[in-house]
């Protein structure tokens, strides 16, 4: 049984992602039990820890869609020794970045003014809503990223490959047969 | 302070209200934020559950070819991508003039859907909400998560992991991948289920059936034995779901049925292609998620709930025996009325999971399931297609209009969680009313508000086609916006009162 | 780095050396042709046996070592981070004639790194959204990227706005994914006897155009059976309404590696729909 002190501390977040990367992480199924002997979770959608503390590894899913995403990403960069961009959205913007071909205004208008069956049309503009970025951006354009896990989503085997390398103190090297972008 | 407040409050009322914010809601899929407006006596004037992210899917899909749509629409959500793929596929079937699939294709789509509802429901109970239900709403936040459950109830947690795994394996066998696979083509499916794959899935089915039953029993026990749970977040609502034409619980295809809170049918077996005559969505300025309502009942009264509670309440029977027996007990619990308890969602959800397990078992034994006739003859092309399905979280509407070249001109989605928007807001208000105590914001209150939201298993990515997470802070502001108190949840779950600090 | 000298290997007529392997060639063959014939894979995108070589994608860049190069203090190649043999030249294998005695490096870490960078640039320049692209799994650009171990785009994404042309009844042109390889241009001209495609514009404004009165495919004379329709290595020219018919697990690059020799026939066979 590992000494709790030797466990790697991992934080995870989904910025403007669909959560598929987190679900794929959970696709390691029972292997999670063994992983938990070597790692513990800090801030994550799966825990109630809501601020990232100093951690060894940060797994970031999703790209940057609004100002809050940027704040969270920076919090992760400040606190995580190693930051890993997980999945297509984090690496190149992914499907949400398709809105970059249109003005933000036209996207908002389509949903809230011109949409089918819309009542009381208006563009939401309350102070509670974080400011949207003009364009969706990949996360490496805002902070330094240490490693990349491509895929939409990356398979559980990919997560285990990278985490296995890091736990063993090796430089992560994803075998080519595990690389896929879809 | 707020812009564009949409309630009837006048400025005098506003001036006397305090704002409390909770940000984000954890252990849900997606980004949500709760704010409360309190008056001097701590009565809740307004409770709002905000969806704070936006993606613009309805715009950026325009100009894409229709045959691509099911596969990029599913990227709206990583928990229920299959729901979106199937709803879009049903719409695409109409675009190519297919009314009836081949028997094999139809059963494969149903099998795919049962697999994904099973895994989604398992995830929601075991990975996301069981910590609250097993440890208590105010229990130690450091342990109130799947790791804590694996630690204290390893057998139970492992069953949950394996239930989810099984559902994912069903999906992978049909769609080629567990998450964001491909399976549907216009008018059919792209791959048969091989006999070998069928045998592999059959090997584990009796465990799956047994564990699903255990999950129902556990949730039935939790709900019926805790008086607090019965009245928690208590609201009364209408319910909407798809049912089969015999009134049976139906997840893949059927007609729309709505019941009022008294249980009376508002409508039944409505063709969902006419959804625009039934439902409209209201925009409110403080959330990117819209507020659907039944047109016939009007904006104030027309809101409704969808999802497991709605489906189990709405239907007259479940076609599989074990789930039907469980439903009978559920119905008895309602004692002649619909079960309105918000936390009964969890119980209803497991009844559905059991139904999925039984249905998967049935389909795997059906000789058509390994058939090779996968695509129906295409018919006359149309330029409008509407697909509706019961996703794990509720009724899901996909609506597409294309031009003669086959490119999308207009799209509309009403995703399941959107339909629960008003209900989640009402439930949050109900909890706030019951538990708020003076000026003190306690951790217990915070989590209880979140427990109310979690019961709905919200898929907030789907809802505004966006997702995100923010640090948790609760602020008490007076009417001028001056900070009275702030509570921040630290990384170790500890609370810090930091009276005055910049954001 | 380079210990191959002119004296170590005698110049044998009709022989070149690639990564130390002795490769025969016939007069008129390019380095790429000779490598192909010998079963050696050099990464490429704009090349197809049977079409005039183009030399534009530069993925097939190889180093020839015993060419006399103009080597001076201002020679920029000596300022790179990799050791450069100032007597070597980098050339595209697909356009450079094989000549007796050439000592060629192809599969080196330095060259593969450069190839990966080129591929990254191709990815960020267009809209290559593999998750929602029907060509995923059948796409040569993607397969080459996997082969080179590309994990990210590295450079900032352009997110260009590019036109889709779905005017033709059976063929769609999605310029999001066009890599300007001009295979369609050459195929239309050399194999189909038509001239449907061309590249217009310069630099980052270069784009595929259609030679037709309307500028769209509808009146271009393009037919479903044309080679130009099937030769696109990415998801830019597609047969309409047949995406996703091949399940995951049975797509070209689920079953084959991009480095397999003779893959072109497999790729073309799969690209043709059974209707034709």
Position B77 in a domain = no
Position B31 in a domain = yes
Give yes or no for residue A2 having a pLDDT over 50. Answer: no
Q: Which of C157, C161, C247 to mutate to test the interface with A (most CBs of A within 10 A)?
A: C157
**C134 and C249 housed in the same domain:** yes
**C89 and C183 housed in the same domain:** no
- State the pLDDT at residue A115: 82
Give yes or no for residue C125 having a pLDDT over 70. Answer: yes
Q: Are the beta carbons of A111 and B56 separated by less than 8 Å?
A: yes
Position B502 in a domain = no
Domain of residue B145, CATH code = 1.10.645.10
Q: Find the length of chain A.
A: 182
Query: How many other C-beta atoms lie within 10 A of the C-beta of residue B45?
Result: 16
Contacts for B124 with CB less than 8 Å, ≥ 6 apart: B349, B392, B457
pLDDT band at B489 (very low <50, low <70, confident <90, very high): very low
**Spatial distance between the Cα atoms of B358 and B350, rounded to a whole number of angstroms:** 12
**B361 and B263 housed in the same domain:** yes
Give yes or no for residue B53 having a pLDDT over 60. Answer: yes
- Closest by CA position to C141, among listed A181, B17, A80: A181
Dihedral in degrees, nearest 10, Cα atoms C235, C239, C241, C245: -70
Q: What interface predicted TM-score (ipTM) does this complex get? A: 0.94
Q: Are the beta carbons of C166 and B65 separated by less than 8 Å?
A: yes
**C217 and C135 housed in the same domain:** yes
CB of A9 within 8 A of CB of A56? yes
Residues forming beta bridges with residue B256, ordered by sequence position: B242, B270
pLDDT (tens digit per residue) in A64-83: 999 999 999 999 999 999 99
Nearest to C247 among B64, B96, B191 (CB): B191
pLDDT band at B353 (very low <50, low <70, confident <90, very high): very high
**C97 and C163 housed in the same domain:** no
**B157 and B29 housed in the same domain:** no
Nearest to A176 among C130, C146, C157 (CB): C146
Q: Are the beta carbons of B407 and C241 separated by less than 8 Å?
A: no
Q: Are the beta carbons of A88 and C131 separated by less than 8 Å?
A: yes
**B129 and B240 housed in the same domain:** yes
Residue numbers in A near C254 (CB within 8 A): none
Q: Are the beta carbons of C247 and B68 separated by less than 8 Å?
A: no
- State the pLDDT at residue A60: 97
**Spatial distance between the Cα atoms of B369 and B499, rounded to a whole number of angstroms:** 63
pLDDT band at B496 (very low <50, low <70, confident <90, very high): low
Q: Which of B350, B373, B396 finishes a domain?
A: B373
> Which residue numbers of B have CB closer than 8 Å to C's CBs?
63-65, 67-68, 71-72, 75, 96, 175-177, 180-186, 190-191, 405-407
**B191 and B255 housed in the same domain:** yes
Q: Which domain holds residue B471?
A: 11-53+436-497
Residue numbers in A near C159 (CB within 8 A): 93, 97, 100-101, 135
CB of C145 within 8 A of CB of C9? no
**C102 and C133 housed in the same domain:** no
**B107 and B46 housed in the same domain:** no
Q: Are the beta carbons of B185 and C244 separated by less than 8 Å?
A: yes
Q: Which of A90, A92, A146, A173 to mutate to test the interface with C (most CBs of C within 10 A)?
A: A92
- State the pLDDT at residue B406: 96
pLDDT band at B431 (very low <50, low <70, confident <90, very high): confident
Beta-strand runs (E) in chain A: 8-14, 39-41, 55-61, 64-66, 80-86, 118-119, 132-137, 147-149
**Spatial distance between the Cα atoms of C118 and B278, rounded to a whole number of angstroms:** 54
Q: Which of C128, C149, C152, C160 to mutate to test the interface with A (most CBs of A within 10 A)?
A: C152
Average pLDDT, chain C: 87
pLDDT (tens digit per residue) in A110-158: 888 888 888 889 888 888 788 999 999 999 999 999 999 999 999 999 9
For chain C, percent of residues with pLDDT exceeding 90 = 75
Position C10 in a domain = yes
Q: Are the beta carbons of C132 and B72 separated by less than 8 Å?
A: yes
At C140, is the secondary structure helix, strand, or coil?
A: helix
**C156 and C103 housed in the same domain:** no
Residue numbers in B near C244 (CB within 8 A): 67, 71, 182, 184-185, 190
Smallest CA–CA distance from B186 into chain C, residue: C241
Position C182 in a domain = yes
**C202 and C138 housed in the same domain:** yes
Query: How many other C-beta atoms lie within 10 A of the C-beta of residue C27?
Result: 10
pLDDT (tens digit per residue) in C159-218: 999 999 999 999 999 999 999 999 999 999 999 999 999 999 998 899 999 999 999 999
Give yes or no for residue B477 having a pLDDT over 60. Answer: no
**C77 and C179 housed in the same domain:** no
Smallest CA–CA distance from A178 into chain C, residue: C146
- State the pLDDT at residue C74: 54
pLDDT band at B51 (very low <50, low <70, confident <90, very high): confident
Smallest CA–CA distance from B193 into chain C, residue: C247
pLDDT (tens digit per residue) in B200-211: 999 999 999 999
pLDDT (tens digit per residue) in A27-41: 999 999 999 999 999
Q: DSSP letters along B223-286, please?
A: HHH-HHHHHTT----EEEEEE-TTSBB-SSS-EEEEE-TTS-EEEEEE-GGGGGGTEEEE--TT
Eight-state DSSP code of residue A16:
B
**C134 and C220 housed in the same domain:** yes
pTM above 0.80, yes or no: yes
Chain C nearest-CA distance from B458, in A, is: 25
Give yes or no for residue C32 having a pLDDT over 60. Answer: yes
Average pLDDT over residues B74-98: 95
**C77 and C153 housed in the same domain:** no
CB of B88 within 8 A of CB of B73? yes
> Which residue numbers of C have CB closer than 8 Å to B's CBs?
129, 131-132, 134, 164, 166-167, 172, 240-250
Q: DSSP letters along B30-78, please?
A: S-EEEEEEE-TT--EEEEEEEE-----HHHHTTTSBGGGHHHHHGGG-S
Residue numbers in A near B281 (CB within 8 A): 115, 117-119
The structure tokens listed for C91 are 């050339």
**B141 and B208 housed in the same domain:** yes
pLDDT band at B480 (very low <50, low <70, confident <90, very high): low
Residue numbers in B near A111 (CB within 8 A): 54, 56, 58-59, 288
**Category of C241 on φ-ψ map: left (φ > 0), alpha (ψ -120 to 50) or beta:** left
B:C CB pairs within 8 Å = 56
Q: Which of residues 98-117 of A touch B (CB under 8 A)?
A: 98-99, 101-102, 104, 106-112, 115-117
Average pLDDT over residues B234-251: 95
**C102 and C192 housed in the same domain:** no
Q: How many domains does chain C have?
A: 2
Query: How many other C-beta atoms lie within 10 A of the C-beta of residue B294?
Result: 20
pLDDT band at C20 (very low <50, low <70, confident <90, very high): very high
Residue numbers in B near C129 (CB within 8 A): 72
Higher pLDDT, A70 or C83: A70
- Closest by CA position to A26, among listed B496, B397, B119, C71: B119
Residue numbers in B near A50 (CB within 8 A): 24, 26, 469, 471-472, 489, 491
A:B CB pairs within 8 Å = 250
- State the pLDDT at residue B483: 63
Q: Which of B352, B373, B394 finishes a domain?
A: B373
Nearest to B77 among A19, A121, A182 (CB): A19
Q: Are the beta carbons of C164 and B407 separated by less than 8 Å?
A: yes
Q: Please, is C241 exposed, middle or buried when counting C-beta atoms within 10 Å of its C-beta (0-12, 13-18, 19+)?
A: buried
Give yes or no for residue B438 having a pLDDT over 70. Answer: no
Give yes or no for residue B330 having a pLDDT over 90. Answer: yes
Give yes or no for residue C154 having a pLDDT over 90. Answer: yes
Q: How many domains does chain B have?
A: 2
Nearest to C153 among A91, A95, A182 (CB): A91
Q: Which of residues 194-223 of C touch A (CB under 8 A)?
A: none
The structure tokens listed for C247 are 């399940």
Q: Which domain holds residue C154?
A: 129-255
Smallest CA–CA distance from C165 into chain B, residue: B405
Chain C nearest-CA distance from B287, in A, is: 28
**B117 and B222 housed in the same domain:** yes
- State the pLDDT at residue B363: 97
Residue at token pair 């936006």: B54
Q: Are the beta carbons of B491 and A20 separated by less than 8 Å?
A: no
Contacts for B39 with CB less than 8 Å, ≥ 6 apart: B13, B16, B17, B18, B45
Which of B215-229, C57-71, C85-99 has the highest average model confidence (pLDDT)? B215-229
Nearest to C247 among B63, B182, B407 (CB): B182
Q: Which of B373, B392, B413 finishes a domain?
A: B373
Domain of residue C237, CATH code = 3.30.70.20
- Closest by CA position to B19, among listed B45, B53, B41: B45
**B260 and B343 housed in the same domain:** yes
Q: Which of C77, C107, C137 finishes a domain?
A: C107
- State the pLDDT at residue B138: 81
**Spatial distance between the Cα atoms of A174 and B15, rounded to a whole number of angstroms:** 58
Give yes or no for residue C150 having a pLDDT over 80. Answer: yes
Give yes or no for residue B494 having a pLDDT over 50. Answer: no
**B313 and B192 housed in the same domain:** yes
Give yes or no for residue B390 having a pLDDT over 90. Answer: yes
The H-or-E segment that residue B388 falls in is: strand B384-391
CB of B304 within 8 A of CB of B310? yes
Q: Are the beta carbons of A14 and B469 separated by less than 8 Å?
A: yes
**C163 and C237 housed in the same domain:** yes
Residue numbers in A near C147 (CB within 8 A): 176
Q: Are the beta carbons of B186 and C249 separated by less than 8 Å?
A: no
At B497, is the secondary structure helix, strand, or coil?
A: strand
pLDDT (tens digit per residue) in A9-64: 999 999 999 999 999 999 999 999 999 999 999 988 888 887 889 999 999 999 99
Higher pLDDT, C99 or C67: C99
Average pLDDT over residues C72-95: 68
- State the pLDDT at residue B337: 93
Position B387 in a domain = no
- State the pLDDT at residue B90: 97
Chain C nearest-CA distance from B125, in A, is: 29
At A64, is the secondary structure helix, strand, or coil?
A: strand
Q: At C69, phi and psi to the nearest 5?
A: -110, 155
- State the pLDDT at residue C72: 47
The structure tokens listed for C122 are 């191709």
* Subunit partners of chain B (3 or more CB pairs within 8 A): A, C
Average pLDDT over residues B482-486: 62
Nearest to C161 among A101, A181, A182 (CB): A101
* Subunit partners of chain C (3 or more CB pairs within 8 A): A, B
At B177, is the secondary structure helix, strand, or coil?
A: coil
Query: How many other C-beta atoms lie within 10 A of the C-beta of residue B334?
Result: 15
Residue numbers in B near C245 (CB within 8 A): 185, 190
**B360 and B489 housed in the same domain:** no
Give yes or no for residue B401 having a pLDDT over 80. Answer: yes
* Subunit partners of chain A (3 or more CB pairs within 8 A): B, C
Separation in Å, CA B428 to CA B211, B233, B355, B369: 32, 7, 30, 44
Q: Are the beta carbons of B179 and A99 separated by less than 8 Å?
A: no
Q: Give me the domains of chain A, ranges plus CATH numbers.
A: 8-97+136-178 (3.40.50.700)
Position C113 in a domain = no
């Amino acid at each position: 049984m590992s000494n709790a002190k030797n466990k790697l501390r991992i934080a995870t977040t989904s910025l403007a992602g669909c959560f598929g990367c987190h679900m794929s992480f959970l696709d390691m199924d029972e292997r999670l039990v063994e992983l938990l002997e070597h790692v513990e979770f800090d801030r994550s959608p799966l825990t109630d820890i809501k601020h990232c503390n100093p951690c060894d590894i940060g797994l970031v899913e999703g790209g940057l869609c609004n100002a809050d995403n940027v704040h969270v990403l920076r919090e992760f960069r400040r606190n995580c020794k190693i930051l890993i961009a997980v999945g297509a959205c984090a690496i190149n913007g992914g499907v949400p970045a398709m809105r970059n071909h249109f003005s933000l205004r036209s996207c908002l208008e389509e949903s809230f003014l011109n949409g089918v069956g819309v009542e009381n049309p208006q563009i939401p503009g309350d102070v509670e809503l974080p400011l949207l970025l003009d364009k969706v951006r990949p996360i490496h354009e805002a902070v330094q990223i240490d490693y990349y896990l491509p895929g939409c989503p990356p398979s559980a085997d990919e997560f285990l490959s990278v985490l296995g390398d890091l736990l063993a103190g090796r430089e992560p090297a994803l075998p080519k047969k595990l690389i896929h972008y879809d | 302070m707020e812009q564009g407040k949409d309630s009837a409050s006048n400025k005098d009322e506003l001036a006397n209200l305090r704002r409390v914010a909770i940000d984000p809601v954890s252990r849900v899929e997606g980004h949500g934020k709760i704010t409360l407006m309190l008056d001097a006596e701590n009565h809740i004037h307004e409770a709002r559950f905000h969806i704070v992210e936006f993606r613009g899917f309805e715009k950026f899909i325009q100009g894409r070819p229709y045959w691509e749509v099911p596969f990029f629409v599913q990227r709206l959500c990583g928990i229920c991508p299959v729901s979106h793929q199937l709803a879009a596929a049903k719409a695409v079937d109409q675009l190519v003039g297919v009314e009836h699939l081949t028997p094999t294709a139809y059963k494969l789509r149903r099998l795919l859907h049962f697999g994904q509802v099973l895994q989604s429901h398992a995830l929601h109970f075991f990975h996301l909400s069981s910590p609250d239900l097993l440890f208590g709403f105010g229990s130690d936040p450091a342990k109130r998560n799947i790791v804590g459950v694996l630690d204290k109830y390893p057998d139970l947690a492992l069953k949950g992991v394996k239930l989810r795994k099984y559902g994912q394996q069903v999906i992978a066998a049909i769609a080629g991948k567990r998450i964001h696979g491909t399976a549907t083509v216009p008018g059919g499916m792209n791959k048969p289920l091989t006999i070998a794959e069928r045998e592999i899935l059959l090997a584990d089915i009796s465990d799956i059936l047994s564990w699903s039953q255990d999950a129902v029993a556990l949730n039935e026990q939790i709900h019926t034995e805790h008086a607090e749970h019965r009245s928690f977040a208590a609201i009364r609502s209408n319910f909407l779901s798809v049912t089969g034409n015999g009134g049976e619980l139906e997840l893949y295809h059927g007609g729309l049925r709505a019941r009022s809170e008294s249980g009376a049918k508002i409508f039944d077996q409505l063709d969902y292609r006419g959804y625009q005559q039934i439902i409209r969505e209201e925009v409110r300025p403080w959330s990117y998620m819209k507020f659907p309502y039944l047109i016939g009942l009007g904006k104030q009264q027309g809101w409704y709930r969808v999802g497991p509670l709605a489906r189990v309440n709405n239907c007259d029977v479940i076609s599989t025996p074990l789930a039907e027996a469980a439903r009978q007990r559920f119905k008895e619990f309602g004692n002649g009325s619909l079960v309105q308890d918000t936390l009964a969602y969890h119980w209803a959800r497991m009844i559905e999971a059991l139904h999925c397990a039984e249905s998967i078992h049935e389909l795997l034994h059906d000789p058509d399931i390994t058939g090779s006739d996968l695509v129906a003859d295409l018919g006359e092309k149309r330029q409008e297609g509407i697909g509706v399905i019961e996703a794990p979280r509720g009724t899901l509407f996909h609506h597409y209009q294309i031009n003669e070249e086959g490119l999308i001109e207009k799209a509309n989605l009403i995703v399941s969680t959107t339909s629960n928007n008003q209900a989640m807001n009402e439930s949050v208000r109900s909890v706030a009313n019951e538990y708020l105590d003076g000026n003190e914001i306690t951790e217990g209150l915070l989590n209880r508000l979140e427990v109310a939201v979690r019961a709905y298993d919200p898929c907030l990515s789907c809802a505004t086609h966006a997702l995100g997470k923010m640090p948790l802070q609760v602020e008490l502001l007076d009417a001028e916006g001056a900070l009275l108190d702030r509570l921040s949840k630290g990384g170790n779950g500890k609370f810090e009162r930091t009276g005055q600090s910049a954001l | 780095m380079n210990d191959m000298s002119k004296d170590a290997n005698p110049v044998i007529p009709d022989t070149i050396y690639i990564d130390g392997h002795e490769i025969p060639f016939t007069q008129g063959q390019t380095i790429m042709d000779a490598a192909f014939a010998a079963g050696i894979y050099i990464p490429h995108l704009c090349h197809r046996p049977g079409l005039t070589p183009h030399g534009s994608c530069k993925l097939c860049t190889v180093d020839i070592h015993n060419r006399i190069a103009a080597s001076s203090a201002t020679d920029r190649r000596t300022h790179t981070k990799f050791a450069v043999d100032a007597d070597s030249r980098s050339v595209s294998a697909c356009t450079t004639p094989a000549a007796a005695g050439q000592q060629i490096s192809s599969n080196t870490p330095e060259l593969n790194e450069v190839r990966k960078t080129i591929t990254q640039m191709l990815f960020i320049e267009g809209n290559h959204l593999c998750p929602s692209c029907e060509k995923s799994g059948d796409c040569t650009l993607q397969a080459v990227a996997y082969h080179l171990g590309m994990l990210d785009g590295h450079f900032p994404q352009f997110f260009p706005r590019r036109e889709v042309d779905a005017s033709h009844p059976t063929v769609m042109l999605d310029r999001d994914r066009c890599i300007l390889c001009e295979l369609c241009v050459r195929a239309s001209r050399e194999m189909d006897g038509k001239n449907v495609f061309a590249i217009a514009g310069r630099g980052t404004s270069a784009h595929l155009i259609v030679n037709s009165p309307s500028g769209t495919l509808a009146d271009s004379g393009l037919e479903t059976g044309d080679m130009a329709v099937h030769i696109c290595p990415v998801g830019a020219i597609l047969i309409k309404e047949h995406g996703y018919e091949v399940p995951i697990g049975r797509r070209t690059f689920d079953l084959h590696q991009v480095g397999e020799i003779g893959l072109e026939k497999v790729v073309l066979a799969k690209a043709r729909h059974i209707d034709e």
